[in-house]
Amino acid sequence: MSPAAEASPKAGLSVVVPAYNEEMLIEDMVTDLLETGRRWTGALEVIIVNDGSSDRTAEIIDRLAREHEGVRAMHQTQNRGFGAAVRMGLENAAHDLVTFCPADHRFSDKEFEVYLTLIKHADAVIGYRRERRRHQKLYPWLVSQVYHALVNVLFCQDLYDVNWIHMYHRDQLPDFLGASDGVFFLAETIIRAKRRGLNVVGVDVGYARREAGGATGRKPGTIVETLREMAVFFFKRSSA
């Protein structure tokens, strides 16, 4: 089936929320997501994947799943990484359209409208955070620039931002879903989709700074693991 040929503005949507030590943010974020999302979708499912958290994240999301219809809690016993958490949620999604949302982000009405409109005419929609990159401090800006340059050069792409919110059609996912467990998962997924000739559309979206906790993507260990995953994909899985 072609893009969201069958999708409608009220199509069912599954939203995956990967959560690692997000006890300070996760409840407010999910409550807000339920309220906003249900104004835009015919049926909304929120899948929260606890990525081996050491704080109270697991306890909180289990309670949210008990208290709210449409909320599901899933757990990884160890911290496997962002990609593994998102993939686990996507593979267990129930609705026709699937997306994910970081635990430190609040989906706005405008974002829901844009993503759900574009996905009717595309196979995948990816968000570009141009405003964020313009206001980053030197180190995060440099890390981001180098990473995206490597992705574009090594894999012959022309992508402005691969690490933000994507939306897909669930029935197409098995054909291109990335195998990386870490940060490179999103880039790998989009590269696979484009190599299969799918229509990938980019859109400028808003971005708000994290309210609590800390980002892990720029830690030295994460950077090293991302480079390793890129090398594995380049040499072993690139033709897949």
Q: Is the pLDDT of residue 8 over 50?
A: no
CA neighbor of 47 nearest in space, from 98, 107, 112, 104: 98
Domain residue spans of the chain: 13-237
Global confidence as pTM? 0.88
Nearest-angstrom CA–CA distance, 11 and 123 = 15
Nearest-angstrom CA–CA distance, 112 and 180 = 27
Q: What digits encode the pLDDT tens for the residues 41-82?
A: 889 999 999 999 999 999 999 999 999 999 999 999 999 999
Q: Is the pLDDT of residue 1 over 80?
A: no
The two most distant CA atoms of the chain are separated, in Å, by 47
Q: What angle do CA 104, 21, 59 make, to 5 degrees?
A: 110
Q: What digits encode the pLDDT tens for the residues 208-218?
A: 554 544 555 56
Query: What average pLDDT is seen over the chain?
Result: 89
Q: What digits encode the pLDDT tens for the residues 136-172?
A: 688 888 888 999 999 999 999 999 899 999 999 999 9
In angstroms, how far is CA 137 from the centroid of its own chain?
Answer: 23
Q: Name the CATH topology of 13-237.
A: Spore Coat Polysaccharide Biosynthesis Protein SpsA; Chain A (3.90.550)
